[in-house]
Amino acid sequence: MNDGYRLTDLERRLHNLLMVGTIAAVDTQTARCRVEVGSITTTWLPWLTQRAGPDRTWWAPEPGEQVLMLSPSGDTAQAIVLPALYRAAHPAPGERVTHHVTEYADGTRIDYDREAGHLTVDCVGDVTIRGGRTLHIDFGGSITLDASDVTINAPVQVNASVTASGDMVADGVSQVDHIHDGDSGGKTSPPKR
C-alpha cells in the first residue's frame, strides 16, 4: 500500500470520526435511525441511550433533530448516534445551570429548579400513576388539590379532623339539608348552620 493512499485513507477516517448531522428516519422496532450529513444519508445506526441492560430507558430521536455521529476508526457503517444538539429550530428549553428541564412537543414540561428546591410538572393531557402496593405521600407543609371533580373508588379512613365548607351527601342524603320525621308526625327543620 503506497503512502499517498494510506494518508488519504487516514484523512478520510479522521474526518469521519465525529460528524454533525440531522435525523432523517427512525425505526422504533430496531432502535435504529438514519442520519443526513450533507448530501449523504447513512445506513441504519443505533443511538446512544442512558441505560440498556435490565434497567432501560427509551427516548427515540425524531426526524429533524440535530445529532452527533461517532464513528469508531472513522468507519461510518459502525457509527453510533449521540443525541442531541440544540439549534435555532429547537432551542434549549431552559437558561439556568440549576434547572433540569424536559419539554415535550405537545407543551408538557417537567422543570426542577435545584436552587429553589422546586419541581413543576405541567402536563397538557392525562396523568396516570400505577403502583402494585402502597402510595405514600409525605409533605412537611400543606397540600392543595384543585379539580373539577374527585372520585375515590375505595374506603377512606381519616385519622384527623375534617372541615368542609360545602355539603356532604352520604347515600343520597344531604348532611346540610336533611330532615327527619318528627315525634308528633311532622318533619323536623333542617340542621342549623
Q: Domains in the chain: how many in total? A: 1
Is 107 within a domain? no
Task: Kindly report, residue by residue over 108-163, the tens digit of the pLDDT.
Answer: 999 999 999 999 999 999 999 999 999 999 988 999 999 999 999 999 999 999 88
In DSSP terms, which residues pair with 181 in a beta bridge? 187
Residues in the chain, pLDDT under 50: none
- Any idea which residue has 422504533 for its cell? 28
Q: Is residue 162 part of a domain?
A: no
- Give the Cα separation of 51 and 168 in Å (integer): 50
Distance from C-alpha of 174 to C-alpha of 167, rounded to nearest angstrom: 7
Enclosing domain of residue 71: 3-82
Residue 17 lies in a domain: yes
- Looking at the domain assignment, is residue 55 inside a domain? yes
Instruction: Name the CA dihedral angle for 58, 63, 66, 70, rounded to a multiple of 10 degrees.
Output: 60
CATH number at residue 64: 2.40.50.230
- Please state, for a pLDDT cut of 70, what percent of the chain lies above it: 93
Examine residue 144 and state whether it is found in any structural domain, yes or no: no
Average pLDDT, the chain: 91
Question: Is the pTM for the entire model greater than 0.85?
Answer: no
Residue 123 counted as domain residue: no
